[in-house]
Amino acid sequence: MTQKQLRRIDTALPGVWVVEPVVHGDARGWFFESFHVRKYAALGIDAQFEQCNVSRSARGVVRGLHYQWPNPQGKLVSVLEGEVYDVAVDIRRGSPTFGRWEAAMLTADNHRQLWIPEGFAHGFCVVSDAATFMYQCTALYDPAADAGVRWNDAAIGIDWPVAEPLLSDKDQASPFLEDVPPDKLPAYSM
- Omega prior to 65 cis, within 30 of 0: yes
Of the candidates 40, 66, 85, 111, the residue annotated as catalytic is: 66
3-state helix, strand, coil in the chain (%, to 5): 10, 40, 50
**What's the distance, CA 161 to chain centroid?**
16
**Residues 177/149, Cβ–Cβ less than 8 Å:** yes
Q: Helix, strand, or coil here: 143?
A: helix
**Residues 94/128, Cβ–Cβ less than 8 Å:** no
**Contacts of residue 167, Cβ cutoff 8 Å, sequence gap at least 6:** 61, 62, 151
Of the candidates 40, 67, 85, 135, the residue annotated as catalytic is: 135
Residue 88 to residues 3, 98, 125: CA-CA distances in angstroms?
31, 11, 12
Check if 135 is active-site. yes
Check if 66 is active-site. yes
Catalytic residue numbers read: 66, 135
